[in-house]
Amino acid sequence: MSAEIISGKQIAAEIRAELAKEVAEMKMKGVTPGLCVILVGDDPASKSYVTAKERACEEIGIYSDDNRLPADTSQEELIALIEKMNSDPAIDGILVQLPLPSHINEQEVLMHVSQKDVDGFHPINIGKMVLGQEAVLPCTPNGVVEMLVRKKVKIEGAHVVVVGRSNIVGKPVANMLIQKNGRGNATVTVCHTRTKDLKEQTLQADILIAAAGKPEMIRADMVKAGAVVIDVGVNRVEDATKKSGYRLVGDVAFDEVSQKASMITPVPGGVGPMTITMLLKSTVNLAKKRLG
């Protein structure tokens, strides 16, 4: 069997067209959604994510205030910038790109991004998500669920196996999929580095979500025939044939797993464009509050 490729790029383009229309209408009413992006340091992957986010904002008409700070920025300076953005009426959402340099306490910094938490990383938003209340949802897991919904994958009653327990992807996606709502009702297993027999678990998955950050760790013999495979991994591996010296691979060995799955996301062009799209959507949703 050769799997259907789920094109995040295509689904993202559809949603972005819908959002561009909405933004144009909001502008006519005098509100331009505004996003503040803060990057500390010069991690190459973070830099390219942030550049892609800024470009996406421009494409659909969102105002973006880009702040690139040196790696030795102090925690106090970073918090001062966040507070300034908190009181800037042109800004609806604030995004602090993670990871932050090791001298900065990530959790302490994120506590200052509350009303304008477009990433859904503040404990209040996480708490609301877990309780099934209306919340700003983290972009990557929200993009994964949106993809499954738009591709009409049956989530209710499905056994979902998530590989990875990060705060950004594994924990929230598992939580979203167990919620008692139209985008949830799945049975979810979360696997991690201490899981005893990973393959025994992944073979149970109707929907397998790989978010471990390990290049091509999910092999064909770990996947049930006909499973839907979502690859959240974005890993740079050395490749002398490329001008950049590297290529991007996911957490899934695409060539072999695509022979076994019924649907699969590619890397790049799968989850990545969806993450940014959900960020745009959350920015627009936060800006709607200004319209009353």
Binding positions for ligand GUN, rule: CB under 6 A? 95-98, 119, 139-140, 168, 275
In the bound state with ligand GUN, the residue whose beta carbon lies nearer, of 168 and 223, is: 168
Residue with smaller CB distance to ligand GUN, 261 or 280:
280
In this complex, which beta carbon is closest to ligand GUN, that of residue 140 or of residue 277? 140
Give the residue at shortest CB distance from ligand GUN: 98
Active site residue 179: no
CB of 200 to ligand GUN, least distance (A): 29
d(CA 180, CA 87): 36
Contacts of 256 (CB under 8 A, 6+ apart): 219, 220
> Minimal distance in Å, beta carbon 120 to ligand GUN?
9
Give the three-class secondary structure for 183: coil
- Nearer CB in complex with ligand GUN: 16/260: 16
Distance (Å, whole) CA 277 – CA 272: 9
- 24 or 71, CB closer to ligand GUN? 71
CB of 183 to ligand GUN, least distance (A): 19
4 by DSSP, 3-state: which? strand
Strand ranges (E), the chain: 4-5, 34-40, 63-69, 93-96, 159-163, 187-191, 207-210, 228-231, 235-238, 246-249, 263-264
**Known catalytic residue at 92:** no
Q: Which of 53, 116, 171, 281 is catalytic?
A: 53
CA 67, distance to chain mean position in Å, is 20
How near is the Cβ of 277 to ligand GUN at its closest, in Å? Answer: 12
| DSSP structural state of residue 268 | S
φ, ψ for residue 163 (rounded to 5)? Answer: -105, 110
Amino acid (one-letter) located at 262: S
Neighbouring residues of 242: CB distance < 8 A, sequence distance ≥ 6: none
Rounded to whole angstroms, the Cα distance separating 234 from 271 reads 9
Q: Which is nearer to ligand GUN, 119 or 216 (CB)?
A: 119
Range 69-76 contact pairs with CB under 8 angstroms and sequence separation of 24 or more: 69/38, 69/39, 69/40, 69/41, 70/40, 70/41, 71/40, 71/41, 71/42, 71/101, 72/101, 73/40, 73/101, 73/104, 74/103, 74/104, 75/103, 75/104, 75/105, 75/108, 75/109
CA-CA distance, 77 to 61, in Å (whole number)? 29
Catalytic: which of 92, 116, 117, 119? 119
Closest approach of ligand GUN to the CB of residue 2, in Å: 30
Distance of closest approach, residue 166 Cβ to ligand GUN, in angstroms: 9
**97, 171, 231, 260: the active-site residue:** 97
Told to judge if 72 belongs to the known catalytic residues of this protein, a careful annotator would answer: no
- Give the catalytic positions in this structure: 53, 97, 119
